A = this chain, B = another copy of it.
């Protein structure tokens, strides 16, 4: 799966919003969900775990940061804990468009078409869109 989106902020700022847990917690996840971070160590060799809480239900996500290049690249793994055997390899590429704008290309690699279809059917795409809208608002604030 590949999602491309442009932001009205320079790469350094978009990267910081993706890598600093104090900022991530303000936008990651669909509207109406509260994000709680267990740990979020966004550096090469680090790892993360967080939950999204909605109407008393808590959903856990975790993974490791394979490589982090400031303002340029994040490669990480991703598992939704309710499907503990599923693992995605995610690559976030930050492209400088000039004029203080950034294109973010997010690619998610899974090991079967079934896993891809399950991902799409889960409504994650809509969750990602809502997340990015919230990120827009954070970057504009």
Q: How far is the CB of A86 from chain B (nearest CB, A)?
A: 10
Q: Which of A5-13, A22-30, A58-66, A127-135 contacts B (4 or more CB under 8 A)?
A: A58-66
Question: At the interface, is chain A mostly helix, strand, loop or mixed?
Answer: strand
The reply on A96 being an interface residue by CB < 8 A is no
Which B residues are CB-close (under 8 A) to A64? 45, 47, 64-66, 77
Mark each residue of chain A from 43 to 84: 1 if its CB lies under 8 Å from any CB of chain B, else 0. Answer: 011110000000000000001111100000001010100000
User: Is A37 part of the binding interface, using a Cβ–Cβ cutoff of 8 Å?
Assistant: no
In the complex, A99 has a CB within 8 A of chain B? no
Number of this chain's copies in the assembly equals 2
Interface size range of chain A in the complex? 10 to 19
Contact across chains for A87 and B75 when beta carbons are under 8 A apart:
yes
Question: How near does chain B come to A50, taking the closest CB pair, in angstroms?
Answer: 13
Q: Is A137's CB within 8 Å of the partner chain B?
A: no
Q: Is the CB of A79 within 8 A of B67?
A: yes
Least Cβ distance of A48 to chain B in Å? 9
In the complex, whether A107 has a CB less than 8 A from a CB of chain B is yes
Q: Which residue of B lies closest to A93 (CB)?
A: B85
Residue of B nearest to A112 (CB): B109
> Is A91 interfacial (CB 8 A cutoff)?
yes
Chain B residue numbers with a CB within 8 Å of A109 are 89, 109, 111
Query: Closest 4 CB pairs between A and B?
Result: A45-B47, A64-B64, A66-B77, A89-B89
